[in-house]
Copies of this chain bind each other. A is one copy, B any other.
Amino acid sequence: MIAEKMKPFVQNNSAIRMMFEEGNRLRAKYGADKVYDFSLGNPSVPAPDCVREAIIDLVNNEEPTVLHGYMSNAGFEDVRETIAQSLNRRFGTAFSAHNLIMTVGAASGLNVILKTILNPGEEVIVFAPYFLEYGAYVRNYDGKLVEISPNTETFQPNLKELEEKITANTRAVVVNTPHNPTGVVYSEETIKELAAILEKKQQEFGSVIYLISDEPYRELAYDGVEVPYLTKYYKNTVVGYSYSKSLSLPGERIGYLVIPDELEDSATVITAAAIANRVLGSVNAPSLMQKVIQKCVDAEVDVAAYDRNRLALYNGLKECGFECIKPQGAFYLFVKSPVADEKQFCEAGKKYNILMVPGSSFACPGYVRLAYCVSYETIQNSLPEFKKLAAEYGL
Contacts and interface: CB of A to CB of B under 8 A. Distances in A.
Nearest to A54: B59
A105 interface: yes
Given A64-B51, A71-B251, A279 B44 contact: no
A268 to B, nearest CB: 6
Given A248-B65, A251-B70, A283-B253, A276 B6 contact: yes
Top 3 nearest A-B pairs (CB, nearest first) are A251-B287, A108-B281, A111-B281
Contact of A283 (B40, B69, B105, B275): B105
Given A64-B52, A70-B250, A286-B286, A281 B112 contact: yes
A280 B116 CA distance: 14
Contacts of A117: 1-3
Interface stretch (A134-142, A176-184, A189-197, A330-338): A134-142
B71 A272 contact: no
A52, A109, A269, A286 — most chain B CB neighbours (10 Å): A286
Contact of A104 (B6, B104, B287): B104
A268 B140 contact: no
A133 interface: yes
Interface of A: 1-6, 9-10, 13, 40, 42-47, 51-52, 55-56, 59-60, 63-65, 67-71, 103-105, 107-112, 115-119, 133, 136-137, 140-141, 208, 248-253, 264-265, 268-269, 271-272, 275-276, 278-289
A64 B47 contact: yes
A275 B1 contact: no
Most B CB atoms within 10 A — which of A6, A59, A71, A265?
A6
Contact of A111 (B59, B272, B280): B280
A59 B52 contact: yes
A285 B133 CA distance: 18
How many copies of this kind of chain does the complex include?
Answer: 2
Contacts of A269: 1-2
Nearest to A17: B271
B249 A279 contact: no
A280 B119 contact: no
Contacts of A271: 10, 13
Contacts of A252: 68, 286-288
A69 B272 contact: no
Nearest to A7: B272
A137 B13 CA distance: 25
Contacts of A116: 2-3, 6
A46 B64 contact: yes
Contacts of A47: 64-65, 68
6 contacts: A2-B272, A43-B69, A105-B281, A108-B280, A251-B288, A282-B282
A199 to B, nearest CB: 16
A19 to B, nearest CB: 14
Contacts of A250: 68-70
A264 to B, nearest CB: 5
A251 B69 contact: yes
B281 A280 contact: yes
A140 B280 CA distance: 8
